[in-house]
Structure 1
Amino acid sequence: MADTMPTLWVTGAPGIGKSTVGWGLFEAVASRGGSVAYLDIDQLGLLGPPPGGGDRSHRITTDNLVPLLHGLRRAGVRQTIVSGVVDPERGIDHHLRAGPPLDGVPLDLVRLSCRDDVLRGRFLGRGSSPELLDELQRYARLLDRTGIGEPVDTTDHTPAQTVAGLLGRCLIAAPGAGEVPTGPPPSIPVAGVIGPTAVGKSTAGWHALRTLWQEGRPAAFVDAQQLGFVHPRPSDAFVRAQISILLHGYQRAGATVALLVSRDPVLARPPFGEGAGTLIRLAADPDALARRVESRARGSSALLAGDELRGAPAPTRRAVLDRALREAENLARACPDLPVVDSSRQAAEATAAALLEHLRSSVLALRSLPPRPGTVRLVLNRDRILETAIAQGLDRFSMAGVSRELGVTDMALYRYVGSREELYSLAAARAHATFQFRLEGTDWRAHLVEVAEQTWQLAARHPGIERYLLDGPYHPETLRVFDASIAGFRALAPQFSADQAYVLLSRVVSFTLAAADNALSRRWQPDPGEPSALFRWTVEALVDGMVGRLDDLPTDPSARGLGPESAISPSRS
C-alpha cells in the first residue's frame, strides 16, 4: 500500500471538458509509466429515483468515492484522477467532513473555466439541450462566485494543452506493493447483464433503470468497465472488490436492487452475500454488431470515459468489431445456460423491456419491502413531473419552474423527459385522458353539442391543451379516447359512414378548440369557462351545414388526415 496517493479532481461547469481533460491526464500519466487510476464522479451517483442534486446527491457520490479511493491506495496505485461536478456552494470539504475519513489521500481540486460564449458552444457541441443553458450559466457563475477549486482558464486552450498544463500536478511513479481490498459482500440483489462490446448493454440497462425509477423503485447502476480504469491493468479480483465497495455504498444510500453491466462474466458475478442475483446475456448477430460499432463511432451513444469508438478511424472500428465478434463467441461458449436476450432487430427500449421481464421473475420479486429505517425514500418520478406541469399550466410551465417546485435541479428532469416539448405532450395527454367527459344525450345532434361544450370546458380547465389536440403528435391513450369518441357517435348515428362520422365529430371539436382559445385569451365573455348561447347556436349551424353537404364530401385521404385541421384521430381499422 502506498504511503499516500495524491488525487487530482478536475471540476467545472457541465460541458466545459472535465471528463476529456481527466481522461487525458490518465492516459498521459500511464503513457509515462506511472501508476494511475481514473474515476468519473457521475458513475458513482447512479441511484434513483434521482435525488435531484443538492446535499443528498453530492453526499451519495462523496460517500462512494472515499472507500473506492482507499481501495485504490491499498492496491498500490500512486495517483488517481477524478473528474466531475462538485457542490457549487460548498465544494467537497463539507461532504468529506460528513463522511468517512480520507486519510492518506491528499486532494487537489482544480476548476476549469472559460468565457460564457465558449462554454455555451462546448455545451451545445456535445449534444446537450439548449433548454439547459440558463441552468448552466447559473451553475458556472455560482462556481466563480464561491471560488471553489483553483481556477484554470481554458478559453483559448485545446484539451491537450490543458492536460499538458496540469500534468505537472500529477505524481508519476511505479506502483507500490498492494493488496486486494476485502470486506463482506453486499446484501442487495444484483442483476448482471453481460455481452460483447457494442451490443448495447449500457443503453438497454439505462432504459431498464429509468423504468425502475419511474416505478419509484430505488435502483442503482454499475458499469464494471468504469471501475477498471487503472494502469497497470488491475486483476479481476481487484475490480470485483471495487464493484462490491460501490454496491455497499448504494445499499447504504437506500438502493434495493442494482443493475451491473460488463463484458466479462467474471466481473458480473460478484459475491451476492445475503442478497440474490441473476445473470443475463445480451446477444446480437454480426450485422447488428457491425451497425452498432459504426453508430457509436458517429457519436450516437452517451459520451463516457474510455470510449474507444467515438470518432475512431476505420481500422480502429474494424479491430473493435473483430474483438466484439470474438467476445460474443466466447460468451456463448462460456455461459451456455444463461438466459439470452437477442437485441439484433429491436430498439434499446424493447431490449430493456425483455431484460426487465427476466428480472421481475427473479431479482425484483425478492425486494418488495420498504427501505430500511434511516434511508431516504426518493420520490421523483414521471407521474409527479407530469402532475406538476399540469398544475402550473400547460401554457405556462417551464422546466425550471417544475424542477423548483419538486425541489430538484433542472437536469434531474431530463432523466425522465427529453425536452420541454416532450413534457408538454405527455402532460397534455394526461390532462386529456383524465378529463371526465359526461355525454348523456341520446340524440346525435345533442351529442355533438355536448361534445363541443365539454371540449370547451377542457380547454378552460387546461389552457394550452388546444395545441396538442390540434397538432399532435398524439399519445396512444389520446388515440384511444379519440377512437372511443367516434365509436360512441356512430352508435347514436349509424346512418353516417365512418368517414362522415369522423368529419362531423372532428370539425366540431376543432372549431370548439379554436373558439375557446380565442374567448379564453381575450376574456370577452362574462364567464369564459362556460360556452355562450351564441357558441351553441354556431355549433348547431355548423353541424346542419355539414350534414347538408355530406353527399359531396371529398374522398381523398387528406379529408381524414391528422394535422391542424383535425383534433380527432381517424379510425385505424
Structure 2
Amino acid sequence: MGKTTVAWEVFERLARRGLATGFVDIDQLGMCLPEPDGDPGRYRLKARALGAVTANFRDAGAQCLVVPGVTDPVRGIETVANAELTTCLLRADPAELARRITVRGGATNLIEALEHAETVDREPGLHVDTTGLTVTEVADRVLAQTGWPDPREPATRPLRRYSDPGEVLLLCGPAAVGKSTVGWQVFQQVQRSGRNAAFVDLDQISFHRPELGDHFRAANLAAVWHTFRAAGTECLIAVGPLEDPERYRAALPAAAVTVCCLDAGRDVLLDRATRRARGESPAPGLAGDLLLGQPPDRLREIVGRTRGTGDLHVDTGHRPVDEIADEVLRNTLYLRAGYRPLR
C-alpha cells in the first residue's frame, strides 16, 4: 500500500520543518518466535513494544513519531501506551493493489492481501486513497486530512533503564557488509535449533531527526528486548551501526552481550554498495537506506570508514550467507545452547 514509503516522506518533511521527529517500522517490533498465545500476527506484542520505545522517543525530546504498519483485521488498531494516536488508513483500488504486489514480488499471498485490504477498507476512521497518486501527493493528503502533528514543546528526561537477562548478539560493521542478510540467517538458524529467538534492526526502531546516536539506539533495544523477554523470547539478534559497543552493554546489564563485527575487502564493499545505490537491495522496502541513489564518490567515502571493534570478527567476502552464519554461531554464546552447524 506504500505505508513505509509514505511514512518516510512524512518523517523527512517534518524533520525539514524543524520538528524533533522519530520513525519506527512497527514490523521490527514483532520479529520473534514463537508467536505469543492468543496474539496471532503479534499485533498486541508490537503495540506493547511500540509503547516502550515511544516513551524513549518522548523522553529524548521527540515531538512526534511516524509509524507505518499493518492493522489487525480482527481487532483493528491497538492502543499504544505513552502515545496520543492519530491514525490514517491508506487504501488503493484492488486492481492497483494487485499490480503493486505483483511488481514487488516476494512471498505475499495476493488473494489474502486483497481480502485483508477489503476488510481494512470497512474500518472506521480517516482513509486516504493512494490510487494513481505519487508518494508526494499521498503525503500531502495525509498531512492535510489528519491535521497532524500538533506538536508540544520537547521536554527531555532520563531514559528508562531495563535489566532483563538473556543472550543478545549484536552484528555490526561497515555499510553493505551484509549485517541484515547475515543477521536474518543467524536468526533463522537459531530458531530452527529450537530456541525462542528474536530479530531487530537497530535503525528501524530508532530513526530520529536530529540523530540521537548509540545511547538512544541502545535504550530502544533494551526496551524492545524487555517486551520480547516478557513474551518468552530467549535470545535476540540485533543488526546495525555501532559506534560504542559499551553503551549497549550498559543498556543491557543483565544480558550476555556478544558483539560480532562483520567485514569484507574494500572492493567487495564497494560492489555491494554500488548495487544497493541502484536499488538492488537484499531487503527492499526498508526505510532510510543511506546508500540508495548515492554517487560513486560518496559510496567510496562511505565504505572507506573505520571498522568497528568487537568480541568476534567475521569476513563476509565471497562466501555464502549460511556459511558466514555458521561461523558466527560457532563462536558465540549460542553454541552453549546446543546449536550445531549445518555442516
Equivalent residue runs for 1:301-320 within 5 Å: 301-303=282-284, 304-310=286-292, 312-313=293-294, 315=295, 317-320=296-299
Structure 1 distance, partners of 2:260, 2:12, is 33
1:135 alignment partner, one of 90, 112, 118:
112
Letter in 1 for 2:303: A
Structure 1 distance, partners of 2:125, 2:17, is 27
Equivalent residue runs for 1:253-272 within 5 Å: 253-266=231-244, 269-271=248-250, 272=252
- Relative to structure 1, is the Cα distance of residues 173 and 61 closer, same or farther in structure 2, using a 3 angstrom cutoff? closer
Structure 1 distance, partners of 2:268, 2:53, is 36
Correspondence for 1:382: none
Structure 2 distance, partners of 1:235, 1:287, is 28
Correspondence for 1:464: none
Correspondence for 1:121: 99
2:76 alignment partner, one of 91, 98, 106:
91
Structure 1 distance, partners of 2:23, 2:87, is 15
Asked whether the 8 Å contact 2:128–2:142 carries over to 1, the reply is: no
1:277 alignment partner, one of 254, 257, 275:
257
Structure 1 residue 53: deviation in Å? 9.6
- Relative to structure 1, is the Cα distance of residues 184 and 300 closer, same or farther in structure 2, using a 3 angstrom cutoff? closer
Correspondence for 2:217: 239
Letter in 1 for 2:101: F
- Relative to structure 1, is the Cα distance of residues 248 and 54 closer, same or farther in structure 2, using a 3 angstrom cutoff? closer
- Relative to structure 1, is the Cα distance of residues 196 and 17 closer, same or farther in structure 2, using a 3 angstrom cutoff? same
Structure 2 distance, partners of 1:348, 1:269, is 26
2:199 alignment partner, one of 211, 221, 246:
221
Structure 2 distance, partners of 1:117, 1:56, is 26
Cα distance per residue 1:305-339 (max 9 Å; x no partner): 101234x15x1x541332222133xx2xxx2x632
SS in 2 for 1:189: strand
Q: Which has the higher contact order (CA 8 A, sep 6+)?
A: 2
Structure 2 distance, partners of 1:76, 1:84, is 23
Structure 1 residue 216: deviation in Å? 2.5
Structure 1 residue 39: deviation in Å? 0.7
Correspondence for 1:44: 29
Question: Given the two structures, how large is their TM-score scaled by the length of structure 2?
Answer: 0.89
Correspondence for 2:64: 79
Cα distance per residue 1:157-207 (max 9 Å; x no partner): 111101112224332758613023122322111111110111000110001
- Relative to structure 1, is the Cα distance of residues 174 and 284 closer, same or farther in structure 2, using a 3 angstrom cutoff? farther
Letter in 2 for 1:342: D
Q: Which runs of 5+ in 2 are unaligned?
A: 339-343
Q: Greater helix percent: which structure?
A: 1
Structure 1 residue 51: deviation in Å? 5.9
Cα distance per residue 1:64-85 (max 9 Å; x no partner): 0111112211222111111010
Cα distance per residue 1:199-250 (max 9 Å; x no partner): 0001100011111222221111122222331112214322221111111111
Q: Which runs of 5+ in 1 are unaligned?
A: 1-15, 369-573
Letter in 2 for 1:82: V
Letter in 2 for 1:20: T
Asked whether the 8 Å contact 1:221–1:260 carries over to 2, the reply is: yes
SS in 1 for 2:175: coil
Asked whether the 8 Å contact 2:197–2:233 carries over to 1, the reply is: yes
Structure 1 distance, partners of 2:50, 2:31, is 13
Asked whether the 8 Å contact 2:260–2:314 carries over to 1, the reply is: yes
Equivalent residue runs for 1:325-336 within 5 Å: 325-328=304-307, 331=308, 335=309
Structure 1 residue 341: deviation in Å? 0.7
SS in 1 for 2:13: helix
Kindly report the root-mean-square deviation, in angstroms, between the aligned alpha carbons of the 2 structures: 2.3
- Relative to structure 1, is the Cα distance of residues 321 and 180 closer, same or farther in structure 2, using a 3 angstrom cutoff? farther
SS in 2 for 1:321: helix
Correspondence for 2:300: 321
Structure 2 distance, partners of 1:152, 1:53, is 31
Letter in 1 for 2:21: V
Structure 1 residue 300: deviation in Å? 3.2
Asked whether the 8 Å contact 2:56–2:220 carries over to 1, the reply is: yes
Question: Is 2:326 the counterpart of 1:353?
Answer: yes
SS in 1 for 2:46: helix
Question: Given the two structures, how large is their TM-score scaled by the length of structure 1?
Answer: 0.55
Letter in 1 for 2:267: D
